Amino acid sequence: MKLSLSIYLISLPFLFFLLIASVSSQEHASTPPRGWNSYDSYSWIISEEEFLQNAVVLSQALRDKGYEYAVVDYLWYRRKVPGAGPDSLGFDVIDEWGRVIPDPDRWPLSKDGKGFTEVANKVHSMGLKFGIHVMRGISTQAVNANTPILDTTTGRAYEESGRVWHAQDIALKEQTCSWMQNGFMSVNTDLGAGKAFLRSLYQQYASWGVDFIVYYFDAVKNDCVFGADLNINEITYISEILKELNRPILYSLSPGTKATPDLAKAVSGLSNMYRITGDDWDTWTDVAAHFDVARDFAAAKMIGSSGLMGKSWPDLDMLPLGYLTDPAANEGPHRKCRLTIQEQRTQVTLWSIAKSPLMFGGDLRNMDDTTFSLITNPTLLEINSYSSNNAEFPYISGSSPSGRKLGWSRRYPTSTEESEVETLSLTSCKDPKASRWLVNELDQDLEQICWKENTEGRHGEPFCLSLGNSSTKSDQGITYRSQYQGALHLLPSEDMRFCLDASPKYKITSSEFARGSFSPCTANANQMWKFHGNGTLISSYSGLCAKMKKVKANADAAGARSWIATGRSGEIFLAFFNLNSNAMTMSALLSDLAKALPGRTVSSCTGSEIWTGAKIDRPTQYAVSISVQSHDCALYVLNCR
């Protein structure tokens, strides 16, 4: 009585709010899922004891950071005996209906037909969710044994057209997995018996208490989903089964190869996450290979697009950090991650800002503090769950040093695959193409000299040099600033302590110095420039003039990458990634930030960089820039007006 009275006292808007809240909490994968997967540290050989030990650490150390799924990777049904391996035949444990079940020797709690029920119970009691990896289709062993198919509606063998159906009736023998030819083959979902088989599998997984299914299908051969022969019948039907189950199960697709957004569009709505690259291991090549594909999926607006009963997320694969094993090995964790700390930072930063699911792969029982702090960095986790407008930021400039000098180039996206860079170069002052500099007066204190393109507007903001703070001009500075009569220090941005340099000892024809260079600001004459009324910018020392020219992006420019996103409180996240093998000073102009964030004006920012703690205390009006080591990254949290 008291209870019902209090319900009446709740106001109508509040009830409405409760209703909305309960509906939205049922949305699957409303943020990118997080958890642990056994593959990177155990390959296929994990035991129940090892799995539960990892789950305990997951629950105690990572659950409150959102890492909630404990996932057993492939072949949990294969007996671990001599001769057994990823492509062996005849070692799988199957039930009378041809369904794989956990190997009771490795998973003692599964004995007496209990499947994963007890393991799932234990995982749930730790406040976690339980996941398994499955292969597409039906096991070859079941086909060879020609097991009958379970009709879950009757509890007996499936009958149709007056006969009992068997594994061989539904198996598509030509559709096997390329690296596991002996393992599984596809099922014909045009047949009632094929559908019944899939229902019997997934209803069993649900009855065990499974919350997350990684579904592996081979996209290399002709049965592939992302390949030329688009065949998504099985995935489509499984997603229908999952919708009908009264248990919320996240559906994760693993096509085992690189995907394109167009092809992924066919499956994103049927799943909650889908791998967009091949397996990622702890090599720099693997990390670097994710930048282009992550960019393409962000550009195609696939991040957080609608998925199975909720959202779906392009998946960059597990994080192979900490203590690991080797791909397809028959052994457990035995070695440390081979990525440098810089490369590891780059990996977790990209994964977070691209909103990839974060599935940690290292052995949790041997997790070191560095790894722990990387995967639980609060800024990264905030970005991963709650940022929006995530995209590659193309207007990045990378100044790569040659000796003490820096070249300068700015990368632009083009419609073609190749990107262009705008490069600062030196030329004769008689060159009519050198006379496109103009003074940009922002206010009394801040002035720039900007390059005006004929094609202005095509790439948006012009390239500008900032007036520097040379030690030689301290007493005449005002004159320089207002009249441009004297010589000037010119900086790529207000905050970069490098000055444009026109040292004549470099031949202008030399390919290295065809680019203008910057070096640490000094009072040397080779850093002094004069601006002329005819639009030229002349080096008083060498007599050469500066101009911008567009060239195809070289490797250096291609290796300067950046991502942008906005936060829940209006902050801007800006990541710089240096994929090159030497350090670079990387910068982004504020006017370009605004371009990447429609509807937003950005005129002045403060903020800090999370890995170094570097702060921008005095509001910057031009650019954000920082020196980034090879393979390293920088991540700014900016508060901008």
Query: Quick check: helix, strand or coil at residue 588?
Result: strand
Selected from 152, 469, 542, 604, the binder of ligand NAG by CB under 6 A is 469
Residue 358 or residue 545: which is nearer to ligand NAG going by CB?
545
Residue 112 corresponds to which amino acid? D
What six digits make up the tokens of 304? 């957080």
**Residues forming beta bridges with residue 421, ordered by sequence position:** 411, 551
> Which residue bears the tokens 């560095």?
370
- Residue 576 near residue 628 (C-beta atoms within 8 A): yes
Long-range contacts of 294-297 (CB under 8 A, 24+ apart): 294/350, 294/354, 294/356, 294/392, 295/391, 295/392, 296/260, 296/261, 297/261, 297/264, 297/354
Residue 316 or residue 589: which is nearer to ligand NAG going by CB?
589
H-assigned helices in 495-610? 555-558, 590-596
d(CA 287, CA 337) in angstroms, rounded, equals: 13
Residue 532 or residue 641: which is nearer to ligand NAG going by CB?
532
Q: What angle do CA 135, 139, 144 make, to 5 degrees?
A: 165
Residue 273 Cβ vs ligand NAG, minimum distance, rounded to whole Å: 46
The pair phi, psi for residue 576, each rounded to 5°, is -110, 135
Count CA within 13 A, CB hemisphere, residue 218: 17
What six digits make up the tokens of 107? 């998973």
Residue 531 Cβ vs ligand NAG, minimum distance, rounded to whole Å: 10
Residue 212 Cβ vs ligand NAG, minimum distance, rounded to whole Å: 52
Selected from 494, 541, 542, 629, the binder of ligand NAG by CB under 6 A is 494
Site for ligand NAG in 210-229 (CB under 6 A): none
Class of residue 88 by CB neighbours under 10 A (exposed 0-12, middle 13-18, buried 19+): middle
What six digits make up the tokens of 348? 């977790």
**Of 220-228, 424-432, 569-577, 584-592, which part binds ligand NAG (CB under 6 A)?**
424-432
Residue 467 Cβ vs ligand NAG, minimum distance, rounded to whole Å: 9
User: With left for phi above 0 and alpha for psi between -120 and 50, is residue 98 left, alpha or beta?
Assistant: left
- Residue 335 near residue 315 (C-beta atoms within 8 A): no
Residue 468 Cβ vs ligand NAG, minimum distance, rounded to whole Å: 8
d(CA 184, CA 221) in angstroms, rounded, equals: 13
Residue 150 corresponds to which amino acid? L
- Residue 218 near residue 253 (C-beta atoms within 8 A): no
Residue 386 or residue 541: which is nearer to ligand NAG going by CB?
541
Task: For CA atoms 178, 182, 188, 192, give the dihedral sign.
Answer: negative
Selected from 476, 482, 534, 601, the binder of ligand NAG by CB under 6 A is 534
Residue 25 or residue 474: which is nearer to ligand NAG going by CB?
474
| Binding flag, residue 347, ligand NAG (CB under 6 A) | no
Residue 162 or residue 432: which is nearer to ligand NAG going by CB?
432
Selected from 536, 562, 580, 620, the binder of ligand NAG by CB under 6 A is 536
Residue 624 Cβ vs ligand NAG, minimum distance, rounded to whole Å: 14
**Of 17-25, 530-538, 547-555, 570-578, which part binds ligand NAG (CB under 6 A)?**
530-538
Residue 192 or residue 477: which is nearer to ligand NAG going by CB?
477
Residue 525 Cβ vs ligand NAG, minimum distance, rounded to whole Å: 17
| Binding flag, residue 476, ligand NAG (CB under 6 A) | no
Query: Quick check: helix, strand or coil at residue 523?
Result: coil
Q: Which residues have CB under 8 Å from 165's CB, separation 6+?
A: 148, 149, 157, 158, 159, 191, 192, 193, 196
| Cα→Cα distances 365→56, 372, 573, Å | 9, 12, 33
Residue 421 or residue 537: which is nearer to ligand NAG going by CB?
537
- The footprint of ligand NAG on this chain (CB under 6 A) covers a number of residues equal to 10
Site for ligand NAG in 429-458 (CB under 6 A): 429-430, 432, 434-435
Residue 464 Cβ vs ligand NAG, minimum distance, rounded to whole Å: 15
| Cα→Cα distances 153→156, 159, 168, 196, Å | 8, 11, 21, 9
d(CA 176, CA 217) in angstroms, rounded, equals: 9
Residue 325 or residue 536: which is nearer to ligand NAG going by CB?
536
Residue 172 or residue 449: which is nearer to ligand NAG going by CB?
449
Closest residue to ligand NAG in the complex (CB): 469
Residue 432 or residue 598: which is nearer to ligand NAG going by CB?
432
Residue 472 Cβ vs ligand NAG, minimum distance, rounded to whole Å: 12
- Residue 590 near residue 623 (C-beta atoms within 8 A): yes
**Of 229-237, 276-284, 394-402, 528-536, which part binds ligand NAG (CB under 6 A)?**
528-536
Residue 25 Cβ vs ligand NAG, minimum distance, rounded to whole Å: 50
Residue 334 or residue 618: which is nearer to ligand NAG going by CB?
618
Residue 532 Cβ vs ligand NAG, minimum distance, rounded to whole Å: 4
Residue 604 Cβ vs ligand NAG, minimum distance, rounded to whole Å: 14
Residue 528 Cβ vs ligand NAG, minimum distance, rounded to whole Å: 15
| Binding flag, residue 532, ligand NAG (CB under 6 A) | yes
Residue 337 or residue 491: which is nearer to ligand NAG going by CB?
491
Residues interacting with ligand NAG, by CB under 6 A? 429-430, 432, 434-435, 469, 494, 532, 534, 536
